[in-house]
Structure 1
Amino acid sequence: MSSPSAGKPAILSVDDDPGVSRAVVRDLRRRYGAEYRILRAESGPQALEALREMKLRGQPVAVLIADYRMPGMDGIEFLEQAMDLHPYARRVLLTAYADTSAAIDAINVVDLDHYLLKPWDPPEEKLYPVLDGLLDAWRSSEQRPVHETKVIGNRWSPRSSQVREFLARNQLPYRWYVADEPEGTRLLEAAGADPVNCPVVITSGGQALVQPTDGELAEHVGLSTTPTGEFYDLIVVGGGPAGLGAAVYGASEGLRTVLVERTATGGQAGQSSRIENYLGFPDGVSGGQLADRARRQAAKFGAEVLTTRDVVGLEVNGSARTVRFADGGRLCAHTVIIATGVDYRRHPAPGVDEFTGRGVYYGSAMTEAFECADRDVYIVGGANSAGQAAVFLSRNAKTVHLVVRADTLEKSMSHYLIQQIAQIPNIRVRARTEVVAAHGDDHLTQIILRDNESGLEEKADTERLFLFIGAAPQTDWLDGVIERDAAGYVLAGPDLMVEGERPAGWELPRPPHHLETSVPGVFVAGDVHADSAKRVASAVGEGAMAVMLVHRYLA
C-alpha cells in the first residue's frame, strides 16, 4: 500500500482484486491526482491501519471507496469501522449488479453517500460526476475545522442539549465534554468557568462563551446573522424545504433574495435521519445532508441566508413588504414568501414539560442518539418522522417502542417505512397506546403508558422519550395582516375567495394568485400553507412555484 504523506487530502480505494484496484487508482489519479493523494489497499484491515496512521498525523481523508465483496472484512464492515476514524470522509461502495440490494441495505448501516456498479466505464459519465459532487460536499464541511469547537455541559441540562442540537443542525462540527468528567473539568478550569455556569462553548479561536444564546453562538462560529442590504426583491421567512426551494429558485432567477431562519436550515425535515421517497435520491438522504446541499446551492446563486433571526411581525408599507425581528430590527422587500413550516405540538401528559431536555425530546434529537445505545427507547408518533427516527435509533438501542394512538400505522405512515419497521426485530409497535405521565428526579427515569382499548396502565423504565405528536403552525406574528384558517394555517389563492368575492381589503383588479395570501405580494409555501401535503417534495415544489408567482407579481 502506498504510504500516506502530509499535505494533500486522501482518496482511499480498497479492493482485494489487484486488477480492479489498479484500474480505480488509475482513473482517480487521472482526474484528481493534482489535488488529492490517491491511495489504495487490498484489504479492509490494511486500509484501516493506514487510516489510523493518518488520524494520528492529522491528515485529512476526503473519500473512501470500498468493494463490497472482500474476504475476511467486506466493504460494509470496513466503512463502518472507518467512520469512527474519519467520520466526515464521504463513503462509496463498489458493487456488482447482483449485490445492489445489499448496497441499499448498507445505507442505514454506514450512512453511505453513493454506491457504484461495476464496471464504471466510461468514468467521465459514471465515476467522475459522482466523486465531483462528494468532493464538493466534503470541501464545504472541511472549511470548518473538525472538532475544534468544544461544548462543556451537564448531562441532563436542557440548555446543553439545545446548544448541541443547534450546532449539529447547522452542520457545525463540535466535541462534547461532560462537565464533571476529567477532560471537561480541565477545559472549564482553562476557560476560567464554573460548572454551575454551563454550558460553556470554546470556539475554534479559543474564546470561551458562557451560557451563550443562539445568536451569540451563530456570531462566533461563522454563521451569517446580519443582512448586507436594506432592500431586497424577495424575503423568504423560514429555512425548511419550502424556504430553501424558494431561495434557490429566487436567487437563480436573478432576484435579490434573503432567507431568514430562526434556528437552522432544514426545518423538521432537516432533523430526519433518512428521507427515502424524495425524487432523485434512490439511495435515500438524511435531512441534514439535503438541507446542507440546498443551503450551499442557494448561496452559490447569491442568496443570503440569515440564522437566529426571529421574525415577529409583517407590515405593508406602500409597495414595500416589511418583516420585523424580535431584536427590533426590520428588513424590507418587494415581496415575501412565508415558509415557516410547523412546530411539534407540546405533549399534555404531567411531567413531560418538566423533563424536556432532560430525557424528553421533541423531534429526533440526533445528538442524543449515541446515549441510546443498549437502552429501551420510546418514540411517540405515527407519521413518517417518527418512523424514520425509529429505524435510525434501532441501530444501537436495545429496543425501540413506537407508541401510536391509532390502531395501525397505515393511517399516517408511508408504506415503505411500515415495511422497514416490520423487518427490524428490535422495534416494537405499541398501537392504541399513549403516554399519560413522566417521572424522574434530575432526569426522566419512567413513563406511564395507557392501553386505550383496555384502559390498563403500565410503568416503563426509560431515560429517553422522543415526541413526534403532530404539528401546529406558529403564525401569531401574522395577526391582523394575513388571513388564516381556524388552526392558524395561512390561506391563499382560491381558498381566499368566498362565493367568488375577493378577500377584504384586496385592491387589485385581479384575484389572488394560487399561492398568494390576502396581502398582494406576500406568498406562502410548504407546511404552513392550509391543506398542504406535508411532504418534502411538495414543499420544495411550492417554494419554486411561489417564486414563479413572485415574478408574475413584480411584472
Structure 2
Amino acid sequence: MAKPILLAVDDDVSVLETVVQDLRRKYGKDYRILRAASGQAALDTCQQLKERGDVIALFLSDQRMPGMTGVDFLEKAIPLYPDAKRVLLTAYTDTEAAIRAINSARIHYYLTKPWDPPEDKLYPVLDDLIAAWNDGHKPAYDGLQLISARWGAGDHETRNFLSRNLIPFKWLDPEKNPECLDLLCEKQLDDAKLPVVLFPDGSSLVQPSMTELAAKVGLRTQARQEHYDVVVAGAGPAGLAAAVYGASEGLKTLIIDSLAPGGQAGSSSKIENYLGFSQGISGERLAKEAYIQAIRLGAEFMTQRVCSIRSENGYHIVRLADGREVSCRVCLIATGVEYCKLDIPGAKEFSGAGLFYGAALTEAASCAQQEIYIVGGANSAGQAAMYFSRSAAQVRMLVRGPSLERSMSRYLIEQIEKTSNIAVEHHTQIRELKGNGHLAEIVLETPNGFETRPATSVFAFIGAAPKTGWLPDCVARDPKGFVLAGPDLKTKAGNLWKYERDPYLLETTVPGIFVAGDVRFGSVKRVASSVGEGSIAIQFVHQYLATL
C-alpha cells in the first residue's frame, strides 16, 4: 500500500515551503507530503489521487488565497475525501472566518500563523488529528485473497496451508461476502470451481494443489542441488533442530515438508512448558524463529511431499511427489505424527466440513461466538480449548475417561477450571456425525445414555499416528508404525541390526538413515525432547560420515 498523504495548500511559495519542510521533518517517514499552490490546483490533485486509489489523511490549507479561499477548498474536498482531517491556516484577523468554517467546511482545527516553533504549536495538534484519522481508517486491502466456501472441498486445506506458512490473506466466503462473486465475474472465473486464490499482480489459481500454491507464493518447491550431506524429512521441532545444527556445522542440509515448518507443534496456540519462555510461546512463533535461524545458518527448505526413499551404493535417494529425486549421504526421518482419525459414521463425510483434526489456529476465527466441541483430554486438546475460549461462546471438551489428571499437565487443568466458558464432560464419547453437506449434529454416548446435539464444529485431538507409510520395508517399525532405532533394534523377536558395528543411538535398520522426534518408537512426545533428538542426531551423522 502507498503511504497516506498529507496535502499542504498555500499560494505563498515561501510559506508553502516552510509548511512542507515542517511536515516532512516530523511525518515524512510514514506519510507522503504533497503541495499545491492554489485551491483549484489542490482540487485537481485530489481528483487525480482519488482516481489512482491514493488516500489523503490530512489537508493543511491557507485561508487567504486568490480565486478560492481555504474554506472553499476544504468544503469542496469533502466529497472526495470525507474522512480526511481538515486544518485551516489563518492570520490573526481571519479568526472569525475560521470559527465559522468549523460548521460550513467542517474543519477540525485552525492554526494561526506563524506556528513557530512547530514542536509546540504545530505538531501536537497534527499528532492528535493524524492519530484520530488512523484510528478510524481502514486501508483498502491489496494482498492475496482466497475465495472459498467454508464447507467446500479444499477450503480448510488451503486456509490451513496459508495460515501455517504465515502468508497474509483475506478470506472471502461467498455466503458471507457475496461481493466476491463480482470479483470472479470480472476475471471470468467460474464461481462453481472453488477455492480460487487471487494475487495482487492480477493472476489467479483455481483449485490449486498445495505445491502449486507454494510455488506461487514464493516457497521453494524444487531443490537447488541434486546431492546433499543430509536430507531431513519433516520440519517439526526435531527437523528444525537438525536443520540448525546441521547447517551450523557445515553440512549441506535440505529440509523437506509438505505443509509448513513447525509440524504438529506449530499448530499449538501456546506451549507453556518449553524451557526459557516463562510466559509460554506459540508453536507458530517457535517454528518461525527456528526456521529463520536455520535459513540464516545456511539450511535449505523445500515444500514438497516425500514419497519414498531407497539406498544405492552408500547413498540414499529421496523421491518427491513431483517425480524429482535428491540424493544424500544421510537421511533423517523427522516426519512426526498426526492426530488419529475418528472411526465413526460421518467422520469421512464431514472431514474438513465441520470435523477437524487439530487446526485450532486456522478455524478459530470462523467459530467466533459459536459453541464448539473438542474431543480429547491431553495437552493438545487443553491448549486448543484455552485458545478457543477467547472467541467461542462455549467450549465443550468430550473426555472418555473419568478425569484429565492422567493425560494433561496440571497447569492446563487449572487454567481450564478457571475458564467459565469451558465445560469438561467426562465419560463421554462421540458416536456419530450428521448433516447435509456440512456437520449439523453429533450423537454422544454419555453416562445417561445417547443424546443428539446441534454442532457445526468438532475438533479431534485423540492419539497420535506416525506418518511412516512412505518408508520401505527395510526400515523397521513397530506394529503401530513408529520407527525403531538404536537399542530398540534388539527386540524379543531377534536382533534387527545386521551389521558388524553397533547402531548409533538414533540409527534405523538401514545404516545412514536416522530418526528423531515423535515418529521414533519410545519417544517422549514433548517439544523439548524432539528438539534434543534433532540436535544430537547431527552428532551421530558426523560419526557415521567419518566411517565412510
Q: If the length of structure 2 is used for normalisation, what is the TM-score?
A: 0.75
Partner of residue 519 from structure 1, selected from 510, 516, 521: 510
Q: Is the Cα–Cα contact under 8 Å of residues 381 and 468 in structure 1 kept in the other structure? A: yes
Residues 1:256 and 2:252 aligned together: yes
User: Which residue is 1:545 aligned to?
Assistant: 536
User: Which residue is 2:463 aligned to?
Assistant: 470
CA RMSD of aligned residues (A): 2.4
In structure 2, the CA distance between the partners of 1:48 and 1:406, relative to structure 1 (3 Å rule), is: farther
User: Which residue is 1:189 aligned to?
Assistant: 185
Q: Distance in 1 between matches of 2:493 and 2:382?
A: 42
Structure 2 counterpart of 1:187, which letter? Answer: L
Structure 1 counterpart of 2:545, which letter? Answer: L
Q: Distance in 2 between matches of 1:182 and 1:352?
A: 30
User: Which residue is 1:98 aligned to?
Assistant: none
User: Which residue is 1:116 aligned to?
Assistant: none
* SS across alignment from 1:526: coil
Q: Distance in 2 between matches of 1:184 and 1:153?
A: 10
Partner of residue 359 from structure 2, selected from 361, 364, 370: 364
* SS across alignment from 2:470: helix
In structure 2, the CA distance between the partners of 1:524 and 1:396, relative to structure 1 (3 Å rule), is: same
User: Which residue is 1:425 aligned to?
Assistant: 420
Q: Distance in 2 between matches of 1:282 and 1:46?
A: 39
Residues 1:199 and 2:209 aligned together: no
Q: Distance in 2 between matches of 1:344 and 1:404?
A: 16
Percent of aligned positions with the same letter in both sequences?
A: 45
Q: Distance in 1 between matches of 2:166 and 2:137?
A: 24
The structural deviation recorded for 1:364 is: 2.5
Q: Is the Cα–Cα contact under 8 Å of residues 310 and 472 in structure 2 kept in the other structure? A: no
Superposed counterparts of 1:132-531, under 5 Å = 148-180=143-175, 181-307=177-303, 309-451=304-446, 453-454=447-448, 456-498=449-491, 502-504=495-497, 506-507=498-499, 509-531=500-522
Structure of greater Rg: 2
Deviation string 1:369-389 (CA, Å, 9 cap, x unpaired) is 112122111000111111111
Partner of residue 132 from structure 2, selected from 49, 55, 77: 49
Structure 1 counterpart of 2:543, which letter? Answer: R
Deviation string 1:363-406 (CA, Å, 9 cap, x unpaired) is 13422211212211100011111111100001111110001111
Structure 2 counterpart of 1:483, which letter? Answer: A
User: Which residue is 1:87 aligned to?
Assistant: none
Unaligned residue ranges in structure 2 (runs of 5+): 1-21, 32-122
User: Which residue is 1:554 aligned to?
Assistant: 545
Q: Distance in 2 between matches of 1:152 and 1:525?
A: 38
Unaligned residue ranges in structure 1 (runs of 5+): 10-39, 59-145
Q: Distance in 2 between matches of 1:48 and 1:438?
A: 50
Q: Is the Cα–Cα contact under 8 Å of residues 316 and 331 in structure 2 kept in the other structure? A: yes
Q: Distance in 2 between matches of 1:384 and 1:444?
A: 25
Q: Is the Cα–Cα contact under 8 Å of residues 160 and 359 in structure 2 kept in the other structure? A: no
In structure 2, the CA distance between the partners of 1:148 and 1:534, relative to structure 1 (3 Å rule), is: same
Structure 2 counterpart of 1:52, which letter? Answer: D
Q: Is the Cα–Cα contact under 8 Å of residues 236 and 261 in structure 2 kept in the other structure? A: yes
* SS across alignment from 2:180: helix
* SS across alignment from 1:476: coil
How many residue pairs match? The answer is 430
Structure 2 counterpart of 1:344, which letter? Answer: Y
Superposed counterparts of 1:68-87, under 5 Å = none
Deviation string 1:6-29 (CA, Å, 9 cap, x unpaired) is 5459xxxxxxxxxxxxxxxxxxxx
Deviation string 1:67-122 (CA, Å, 9 cap, x unpaired) is xxxxxxxxxxxxxxxxxxxxxxxxxxxxxxxxxxxxxxxxxxxxxxxxxxxxxxxx
In structure 2, the CA distance between the partners of 1:6 and 1:219, relative to structure 1 (3 Å rule), is: farther
Q: Distance in 1 between matches of 2:492 and 2:454?
A: 56
Q: Distance in 1 between matches of 2:284 and 2:375?
A: 22
The structural deviation recorded for 1:355 is: 1.1
Q: Distance in 2 between matches of 1:337 and 1:47?
A: 54
Q: Distance in 2 between matches of 1:51 and 1:411?
A: 50
* SS across alignment from 1:234: strand
The structural deviation recorded for 1:183 is: 2.6
The structural deviation recorded for 1:501 is: 7.0
Q: Distance in 2 between matches of 1:341 and 1:497?
A: 23
Structure 2 counterpart of 1:517, which letter? Answer: T
Q: Distance in 2 between matches of 1:147 and 1:269?
A: 31
Q: If the length of structure 1 is used for normalisation, what is the TM-score?
A: 0.74
Q: Is the Cα–Cα contact under 8 Å of residues 403 and 429 in structure 1 kept in the other structure? A: yes
Structure 2 counterpart of 1:5, which letter? Answer: Y
Deviation string 1:471-513 (CA, Å, 9 cap, x unpaired) is 1112122232201111110000011124797535x33x32001
In structure 2, the CA distance between the partners of 1:5 and 1:428, relative to structure 1 (3 Å rule), is: same
The structural deviation recorded for 1:521 is: 1.1
Q: Distance in 2 between matches of 1:239 and 1:491?
A: 20
